[in-house]
Every structure is written in structure tokens, then in C-alpha cells.
Amino acid sequence: MAVLEFQITGMSCDHCAKRVEEALAALEGVSARVSYAQGVARVETSGPLDRGRLLRAIEQAGYGAREPVGDDGGRLADHREELSLAVVGSGSGAFAAAIEAASRGARVTLIEGAEVIGGTCVNIGCVPSKILIRAAHLAHLQAHHPFTGLSRRTPGIDRAALLRQQQARVEELRHAKYESVLASHPNIRLVRGWARFAAERTLVVRDRQGAESEIEADRILLATGARPRIPDIPGLAQTPYWTSSEALQAEKVPEHLVVLGGSVVALELAQAWLRLGARVTVMARSRFLSREDPALGEGLAAVFEEEGARVMLDTLPSGIRHDGDRFVLATPAGELRCDHLLVATGRRPNTDGLALEKAGVETDLNGAIRVDDHMRTSAESVYAVGDCTDQPKYVYVAAAAGTRAAINLTGGDAALDLSVMPAVVFTDPAAATVGLDEAEAARRGIETDTRTLGLENVPRALANFDTRGFIKLVAEADSGRLLGAQVLAAEAGEIIQSAALAIRNRMTVDELAGQLFPYLTWVEGLKLCAQTFRKDVKQLSCCAG
């Protein structure tokens, strides 16, 4: 019986120790006890001692190992502590990767050219937009709530005060989730500047004064995000239009806001400003939410018009100018004038300044970096995550990809499974999706059976006097296995995760219909919709099982 110990690097909890222990115990003739507190693995082998086999097992579990010198002739074997990793960007994907890699013994250099760290989500995206949307929702309820026994009133809007509160929370979260995290990891250093490749493992970083320096690394992770895509409309570039950044930081409510776009950012901000008192016109090149089930976009377009917005589908201006006071848009319906114009027609990856060709990193036609499910690019030493890649453009995808990329960069093996990916548009009602819709299932050659339940059949919606929307379930015709869900409802974002879990666990609609759901909840609508595959729910009692 041979006994030896390894120092384990990269563990962050007792669960990590358990993973190392299981990886070693899976080897024939090997037993192991691993202590997270001590950072030590004690290994016993009943057969011939093969240190290389033990070290490889630890590395494949995603951790590093150092074998101390001992009487048995062992020698120092540190496989990852000296690994250097350069991460370009400082958003959610970049930070998730940096933290994970640092915990696994890597030396990490974060490279960021922007004035603040944290990327889009916390600074100019998810966080400020949801604060604006929530404030607008409360303003709307004051004037338009459905309860006859409560007085309604037009709310007073102090946009400057709202903005101060919004930005204070942004700064608070940026400090808590990024700046202080960086300060607590001594093996992560921040370099200010804009990076480009000189070779596959060499970056040139230019600071704000124009000075350049080189950074060499064993591995490089790209997490450079994306920026607004501006359509090529004659005259637009010469006008003071807004992107989402300016729209979120505006100090006054517009008199008349025209929004170009029909997808997530356009619709969320259009409705928010409408509810804060602006006159709003939305112009979409095709329809609302053109990549989703048409019923979602149709339902939202009806809501927007009901709330007073002008909706112009299949329309984009043929020309735009600014006369010094107002925007003038040339449209098929005639000239349209407004005091503010928000361009929200999509985003493009921040890859054009990286000199990717010098590293052999391939992109698609839109400039997005091609990655596989391990976040590997076409260059062996370069990985990429987040909005600069061809993966879905969601912050939670970027963060999950960052963690997995770090595991892979430091010797582990972690794939990102995007087969069940919920998504939410934070309008009111919200639009949420997961899995396949009918059209996508048909493209894959899958025969489906679907049901759509109007919210007038959901007790929570009736109790709230808000029956706008529906729940739609898509099932495989033969097996009844749930393939997808599309939801338009006030709490669609809270409903959709239950559908995601049902799809992940390969549940059938009958199994979903048989689950216990609390009464009265919005998510109970999933159960009711599942029941419609076999029953007429209008003939059931309120909480029939």
C-alpha cells in the first residue's frame, strides 16, 4: 500500500474537495480523502504508484496539484499555479472567468479600456433599465390600476430624482460586485487600456495617453461585449440620436420619443418612457419580437396601442435629419417630427479593433467570434465568451460561459449547454420563452401538438383584474414531451423558469398537469395549460387537480 499527499489548488468549498475525492476514487486501486480546509489530498494506492495518473485525474476534475517532496522520492509537480491568463473586458463573463481561474491558481490580467469596470449589464444595461422600468410601472398603476374602489391620479414625475436614485444603485452594485471583488483577489490585476493581438499569445495594450505595452499570456480570453448597431439610414449619423445608454441617463422626460426597433431594448424602453409621460411612436422594420412566436409580438403591439403608443410595423424611415430643434423622419406615412429619437435596432460585437487575424481567430459575417460549447475559438490558446461571440446575447449566458471557459483554460472539461435557455422581455405584460416554438420544431422536422391558454382562465389573473396575455405550450406529438413554452403575462419572467425545469427534466404535458402548483399563483397557469391537452379547463373548479 503506497500513501502520499498532494497540495490541491483551485478549491473554493467543501464541494470542490468532494469532486477531487471522487475523481481520484474513480481510479482502480485508489482511495482518497481530500480536505478543503487544509488544501490537501491524502491518497492510498493498492497497486503500482503512478503519480502522473493521479495528477491527470485531479487536473481533469478542474483543479491543480502540487506533490510535496517526501521520503518516497516524490518531487514538486505544480501543473497550473504559474498559468498566466489575460482577459480582455471586465463585464460579467470576464469577471466570472477571472474569479474562477484565479481560484484555480492562475495569474489573471484583466484588460479594460472603459472608464469604469463592470461592462454593459450593471452600468448601462440590465440594472438601470430594470430600475427605470419598475418606476414607470408604478407610475402607470397610479393612473391606470383596475380597482374601482381606489382613486386614480396622474403621478408627479421628478425625473432628475429618479435618475439620481437609479445611478446611485448602479454605482453601489458596481462597487459591490466588481470593484470590491477585484480588490479581494490579489492574483487578479487590472490593466487600463485597449487591447489588440500582436500574435496568438501576445496582446498590445494602448492606454488613454496613447502609450503601448505588450502582455504575453499562456491563454487569452476575449469578453469584449457589444455596442449598438446603427442602421444605414441617410442622414441619421449626422443627428444627435439616442442609443440605449443616453435613453437610460436622460434627465428629462421627452415630449415625443420615436423609437426605431421592435426587439427587446426598443420595446422595454419605449413602454417605460410612455408610462413616464412621453408621447411614443415605435417604428419596427418588420414586427414586434420578429424572432419569436408571432402571437407574442401581436399581443405586445395591441398593449402598446391600448396604452397610447403609435405602432408602425414594417416601417423604417427613408431619411432622417435634425433641424436644430427636432428630428424630421421621412416615412411612407409622411414626415414625422419628434424631439428625441432612440435607435435600438440591435447590437454588434466589439471585435473590429482586436486584430483577430493576427491570432487566427475566426468570426462570422457579423464579426461575432465563433466558439464551440467549450468557448474555444479557432485559435488554440484563445477562448471567448459573451456578446462578442456567436452565443445568445444574455448576461447570464456570458457569466455561465465565463466560469466554464475558466475551467477549460485551467485544464478542466466543462461544456455550456444552451438547449434549454429561458429568455424574458421586461415589458408589461412581459414576454418569456424557453425551448422550441412551433416554427423551430417544424424546421427540425418534429411534429408537435400545442395548446394556448388565455389568461382569463388563470385565477391569479382574474384576481388581479389583469387578463392580458396567454400561455402556450409546445409538445412532441407522439410522446407528449414538453418542447417549449411561450408566455405573455405580467409575471412571465417568473413563470418561464418552471417551464425550463420541466423541459430539462423531459417531462410530458401530462406529468406537468399532475404537479402541485400553489393557488393563486401566476405559475399555476402552466399546470392549467398542460391540462388543456386532455381537458376543458373551463369545466373545472378553481383549483381542480
Is it true that the peptide bond before 203 is cis, omega within 30 degrees of 0?
no
Lookup: cell for 204:
498590445
Helix 264-275 × helix 126-144 angle, to 10°: 40
Which of 394, 398, 495, 519 is closest to 126 using CA atoms? 394
Which of 180, 3, 195, 227 is closest to 113 using CA atoms? 195
Cβ-in-10-Å burial (0-12, 13-18, 19+) of 160 comes to exposed
DSSP label at residue 76: -
* CA-atom Rg of the chain in angstroms: 27
Listed in sequence order, the residues at least 6 apart from 224 whose beta carbon sits closer than 8 Å to its beta carbon are 88, 89, 349, 350, 351, 354, 386, 388
CA distances (Å), origin 114, targets 117, 192, 256, 504 = 7, 8, 32, 38
Catalytic positions: 11, 13, 16, 63, 121, 126, 542-543
Cβ-in-10-Å burial (0-12, 13-18, 19+) of 28 comes to exposed
Which of 266, 301, 104 is closest to 185 using CA atoms? 104
Which run of H or of E encompasses 501?
A: helix 492-504
Q: Do 132 and 278 meet the contact criterion of CB atoms below 8 Å apart? A: no
Q: Do 48 and 5 meet the contact criterion of CB atoms below 8 Å apart? A: no
